[in-house]
Structure 1
């Protein structure tokens, strides 16, 4: 009872205890936020080790990009690769610099080649030159996948690179099971290249 009357008599002590409690809670919340931000920011950094850059035409998103993403997902989950394609660009960011940063960090480039891919000015002027130069100078690997009939074999710079599948047998002309086998082959090849 004496202790209780002392606390009533000493409001400064109560204020100090409340202040200490609030400071302690603020520090705890700040650490939680910093920890959450670290985890949240890490996967979106294009400078990730073992970055796999996927170059494709938006006309080929469904089903080609989506199926490739599915086959690469186990490698991502295991932490073997960081898959990058422009679907990871957040609204409001400078998309050209995001793409160039990812291109400069890539260890493997996967091309989903189609007539739309070859017709894209951005791909032919920005992505292809950077990736093909990096293949020559830095030794990054390029894995073309021919998804639909196109002039792959007549395209300077590309025609010299061995595609995953025969350009005369694009994925669109194959049964679903064979398509899946080629995407599995891409994922296996990526695993092998990264483990070297």
Structure 2
């Protein structure tokens, strides 16, 4: 049964302030880049992770699989979460989960803990794109929607190419932990920008 839209997401309240669409796009593209990068950045570090944890490669491969499975599993919950707490709060929650999962993955002490923390990352990453896309569609008018959606496609094109390159460079020049730690400053910046986004005013007659 569909949930009632929150005041934040009410169509009556969707008059974006000047520049609001650009700020939303900056936040959403940042989150999407992180999510897509993490689908491939770990692949080049699997051998190093296997050596570090003393686990067979078949086990370590679950660090990539757990992320992908969690990401796909949580996508259907995006609409429900937005209906319950609003798009902005859902997006902030997703960013927080992803950034926290990155920090925990960097602190993993075993293959099992790394796999579990990668699943946490995936839960956040899976919400970033659908919720972010919804935020952009609600903020864009008809004339700017096509250009905005085209920009949202850039992370999908860049991420699969940049992920292995960045991951290999970080593993060779630093350590495997940095393939996760690199998300922390980006995630923190995205959280600050997302929190600063203006929330549309409640429609007239809405309960406080």
Q: TM-score over 0.5 for the alignment?
A: no
Higher helix share: 2
Give the TM-score band, short-chain normalised. Answer: under 0.3
The structure with more radius of gyration:
1
**Normalising by the residue count of structure 2, what TM-score does the alignment of the two structures yield?**
0.22
Higher strand share: 1
**Normalising by the residue count of structure 1, what TM-score does the alignment of the two structures yield?**
0.23
